[in-house]
Structure 1
Amino acid sequence: MLLLRHAQSEWNVHFGATRVDPGIFDPPLTEEGEAQALAAAQELRGKGIRRLLASPYRRTLQTASIVARELGLPIAVEPLVRERCAFSCDQGSPASTLAGLWPELDFAGLEERWWGKVVESTESLRARADLFLGKAARMVDRDTTAVVSHWGFIRCVTGQEVGNTGAVRLRLDRPAPAQMRNA
Structure 2
Amino acid sequence: MIILRHCESEFNRLYTATGRDPGLSDPPLSTRGRVHAQRLVQELVGEGITRILVSPFTRALETATPLARALNITPEVTPLVRERAMYSCDEGSCASTLYESWPHLNFDALEEVWWTAAPESDGMMQNRVQRFRTFMAQQPDAGTTLVVSHWWFLLGLCGESLENGDWQHLPA
SS at match of 2:147: strand
Greater relative contact order (Cα 8 A, min sep 6): structure 1 or 2? 2
Q: Which letter maps to 1:155?
A: L
Question: d(CA) in 2 for partners of 1:168 and 1:19?
Answer: 27
Shift of 1:9: 0.6
* 1:2–1:146 Cα contact (<8 Å) kept: yes
Show the 5 A alignment for 1:151-162. 151-162=151-162
Q: Which letter maps to 2:166?
A: G
Q: Which letter maps to 2:40?
A: A
Partner of 2:3 in structure 1? 3
Partner of 2:67 in structure 1? 67
SS at match of 1:53: strand
Shift of 1:118: 2.4
Shift of 1:35: 0.7
Partner of 1:81 in structure 2? 81
Gap regions ≥5 residues in structure 1 = 173-183
Question: d(CA) in 2 for partners of 1:148 and 1:8?
Answer: 13
Question: d(CA) in 2 for partners of 1:145 and 1:6?
Answer: 15
Q: What is the number of residues matched between the two proteins?
A: 172
Show the 5 A alignment for 1:22-171. 22-171=22-171
Shift of 1:74: 2.1
Shift of 1:102: 0.3
* 1:38–1:70 Cα contact (<8 Å) kept: no
TM-score (norm 1): 0.92
SS at match of 2:161: coil
Shift of 1:144: 0.7
**1:69-128 CA distances to partner (integer Å, 9 max, x unpaired)?**
122222100000000000000000000000010000000111110001220000000001
Question: d(CA) in 2 for partners of 1:144 and 1:111?
Answer: 28
Q: Which letter maps to 1:130?
A: Q
Partner of 1:180 in structure 2? none
RMSD over aligned Cα atoms: 0.8
Gap regions ≥5 residues in structure 2 = none
